[in-house]
């Protein structure tokens, strides 16, 4: 069974709840992932976003991120880490996160939905090393794929430079973060995508660079 390969160039709607794996409080409701991304609506109006890359499925639900390796399946495309699972066949999918299981998740075309995002909503990513960053209602979360961990900053301060860049500063009990967003074209070679923003951030003083996007 071929996995779904319909390109989505639109805003992805996510509803949120917390289970295990990544732990957060008050996770945001939306995400704008890269290409090969699909959103599924399940029972109880739950929304999950799936990003296929490098023979794995990244399952997003609020601030939670699950990296699911490709698994054997008699039919359809199945991804599982032994506890959490995504399985799809055509436009339908079954999703299991911890003790929660949804049997009838249906592919949604985001262009058909009217999604209202906060004015500061921003999403960024990089493939070398792989990370993603989300800004939502003055909150910032950074996900590092290698560590399979998300670091959340519940508040941040914003300043604008004379060159038009936005600078966010945030701090938690254990970590510091500085994010610099510049409006200029940014090309990500591995995903072969061009984004409207270049992103540079410093996590505990270590520099990372990538590309970002924001709804207009």
Per-residue pLDDT, 48: 85
Whether 104 and 30 map to the same domain: the answer is: yes
Give residue-wise pLDDT tens across range 72-118: 877 778 999 999 999 988 889 999 988 888 989 998 865 555 445 56
Beta strands 130-136 and 139-144, pairing class: antiparallel
On whether residue 4 sits in a domain, the answer given is: no
- Residue 25 pLDDT > 60: no
On whether residue 86 sits in a domain, the answer given is: yes
Round to the nearest angstrom and report the end-to-end CA distance of the chain. 36
Whether 78 and 131 map to the same domain: the answer is: no
On whether residue 173 sits in a domain, the answer given is: yes
Here the CATH number for the domain that contains residue 24 is 2.40.128.200
- Residue 147 pLDDT > 50: yes
Whether 41 and 126 map to the same domain: the answer is: no
Last residue of a domain, one of 79, 112, 145: 112
* Domain total of the chain: 2
What residues make up the domain containing 161? 122-213
- Residue 15 pLDDT > 80: no
Which tokens hold the place of 125?
A: 């990513």
Residue with tokens 């499925």: 57
On whether residue 2 sits in a domain, the answer given is: no
Give residue-wise pLDDT tens across range 35-74: 566 888 888 778 888 878 778 888 887 667 788 999 887 7
Residue 211 exposure: Cα atoms within 13 Å on the Cβ side = 18
Q: What percent of the chain has pLDDT over 70?
A: 76
Contact indicator for 34, 12 with CB cutoff of 8 Å: no
């Amino acid at each position: 069974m071929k996995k779904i390969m319909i390109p989505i160039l639109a805003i992805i709607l996510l509803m949120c709840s917390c289970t295990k794996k990544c732990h957060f409080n008050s996770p945001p409701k939306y995400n704008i992932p890269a290409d090969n991304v699909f959103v599924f609506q399940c029972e109880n109006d739950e929304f999950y976003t799936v990003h296929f890359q490098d023979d794995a499925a990244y399952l997003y639900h609020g601030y939670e991120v699950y990296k699911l390796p490709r698994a054997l399946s008699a039919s359809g495309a199945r991804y599982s880490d032994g506890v959490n699972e995504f399985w799809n066949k055509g436009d339908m999918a079954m999703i299991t996160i911890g003790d929660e299981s949804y049997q009838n998740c249906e592919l949604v075309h985001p262009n058909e939905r009217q999604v209202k995002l906060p004015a500061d909503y921003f999403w960024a990513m990089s493939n070398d090393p792989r990370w993603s960053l989300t800004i939502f209602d003055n909150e910032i979360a950074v996900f590092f794929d290698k560590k399979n961990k998300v670091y959340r900053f519940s508040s941040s301060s914003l300043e604008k430079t004379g060159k038009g860049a936005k600078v966010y500063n945030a701090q938690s009990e254990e970590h510091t973060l500085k994010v610099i967003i510049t409006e200029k074209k940014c090309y990500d070679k591995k995903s072969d995508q061009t984004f409207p923003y270049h992103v540079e951030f410093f996590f505990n003083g270590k520099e990372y660079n990538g590309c970002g996007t924001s709804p207009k």
